[in-house]
Structure 1
Amino acid sequence: MNASRLALLFFFFALATTLTGCDAIAGIFKAGMYTAVIGIFIVVALLFFIVNKMRGPRS
């Protein structure tokens, strides 16, 4: 096992032993919501940038 996989396994073991089931699930969903919001913001900003580049320079 490489070091990163061992660290990940230790992290999940620590989570499993320190958090109750509901707290763990709530943390996963909260992280998912924040990740989705940030991802949507990045995609919209990228699309806005691409559309502005395709329009060309404004005179």
Structure 2
Amino acid sequence: MTTSRISLFLFLGFLATTLTGCDAIAGIFKAGAYTGIIVVFLVVALLWFLVNKMRGPRR
């Protein structure tokens, strides 16, 4: 396992333990529906990007 992957897993683990779901959902509802849709889209796009980066180049 490379150093960059270990760093990525540590960073994701840190985010998972420090960000609480209830606070995030409450903030999204206060901001409005369109903001929530944009945030969900950005999170899905980020996850898609990370998964594709971890898979490596396709041949």
Q: TM-score, normalising length from structure 2?
A: 0.49
**TM-score, normalising length: structure 1:** 0.49
